[in-house]
């Protein structure tokens, strides 16, 4: 898993919103993600005082979550940023999952990441998002369902490269949709 995804603040807030609503998909390192984002922003020239304080919290051996939340809220007020809705957070969560599938290094990583996506998206806000989750679940079943010696899984007869290509080929159209801001707007509002 060498590919390190660099989350922006909006994505971190989406993951936090999604994790608060769906506990099973909660990420445990929001604080670390926020501090790393703040450090990257400073490197790229964002000179906000709140951002400087946020980034400096990484100097502490164990940064205080309450301080991170406080300065993050202050930064959000300073930039007029609001917490994303659960619908927008669902789209972002799924887009990040698709990114990791597109950039997986091994078939074991692909199997694990596909296994972590539910067959039906837990948010009833978008049938299209639920359908994309169902498609990803179908890729998992097509590759890894093993019905015994007479009906082995498709992946068992494929090379590592073939499995990665198979998944990338099937995930790519959905990833393009999830990355398109116009589609994301539609997906977040479709019921």
Same domain (yes/no): 91, 116 = yes
99 and 138 co-located in one domain: yes
Are 140 and 72 members of one domain? no
pLDDT recorded at residue 20: 87
3 assigned to some structural domain: no
The tally of domains found in the chain comes to 2
68 and 140 share one domain: no
Q: Give the span between the Cα atoms of 149 and 116, in whole angstroms.
A: 26
135 and 164 co-located in one domain: yes
In a domain, 112, yes or no: yes
Q: Is residue 2 a part of any domain in this protein?
A: no
Nearest 5°: the CA angle 4, 102, 161 is 105
- Structural domain that includes position 92: 86-189
Q: Can you read off the two tokens belonging to residue 111?
A: 């199997």
The verdict on 93 and 154 lying in the same domain is yes
Pick from 35, 44, 108: nearest CA to 65:
35
Alpha carbon separation from 154 to 42, 58, 150, 151 (Å, rounded): 47, 46, 12, 9
Q: What is the mean pLDDT of each run of 10 residues along the chain (191 residues)?
A: 77 91 80 93 91 88 89 95 89 92 94 84 67 89 83 87 96 92 68 42
Please state the φ and ψ torsions of residue 81, each to the nearest 5 degrees.
-95, 140
Tokens of 147: 């019905």
**Cβ–Cβ under 8 Å, residues 11 and 25:** no
Indicate whether 63 and 103 sit together in one domain: no
User: Which among 78, 106, 125 is the end of a domain?
Assistant: 78
**Do 90 and 184 reside in the same domain of the chain?**
yes
Is residue 130 domain-resident? yes
Residue at a domain's end among 78, 103, 136: 78
| 163 and 92 fall within a common domain | yes
Q: Within this chain, do residues 102 and 185 fall inside the same structural domain, yes or no? A: yes
For residues 67 and 90, state if they share a domain.
no
**Residue located via tokens 């093993």:** 146
**Cβ-based neighbours of 75, under 8 Å, separated by 6 or more:** 48, 50, 51, 54, 81
User: Of 51, 78, 105, which residue is a domain's last?
Assistant: 78
The predicted structure's pLDDT at residue 124: 57
- What pLDDT, on a 0 to 100 scale, did the predictor assign at position 2? 45
One domain for residues 123 and 60: no
């Amino acid at each position: 898993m060498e590919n390190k995804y660099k989350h922006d603040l909006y994505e971190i807030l989406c993951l936090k919103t999604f994790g608060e609503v769906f506990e099973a998909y909660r990420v445990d390192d929001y604080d670390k993600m926020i501090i790393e984002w703040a450090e990257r922003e400073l490197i790229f020239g964002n000179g906000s005082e709140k951002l400087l304080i946020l980034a400096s919290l990484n100097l502490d051996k164990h940064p205080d979550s309450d301080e991170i939340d406080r300065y993050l809220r202050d930064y959000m007020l300073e930039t007029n940023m609001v917490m994303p809705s659960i619908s927008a957070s669902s789209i972002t969560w799924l887009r990040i999952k698709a990114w990791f599938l597109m950039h997986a290094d091994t078939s074991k990583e692909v199997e694990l990441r596909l296994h972590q996506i539910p067959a039906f998206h837990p948010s009833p806000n978008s049938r299209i998002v639920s359908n994309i989750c169902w498609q990803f679940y179908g890729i998992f079943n097509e590759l890894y369902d093993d019905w015994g010696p007479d009906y082995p899984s498709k992946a068992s007869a494929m090379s590592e490269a073939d499995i990665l290509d198979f998944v990338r080929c099937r995930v790519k159209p959905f990833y393009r949709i999830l990355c398109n801001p116009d589609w994301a707007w539609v997906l977040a509002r479709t019921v």
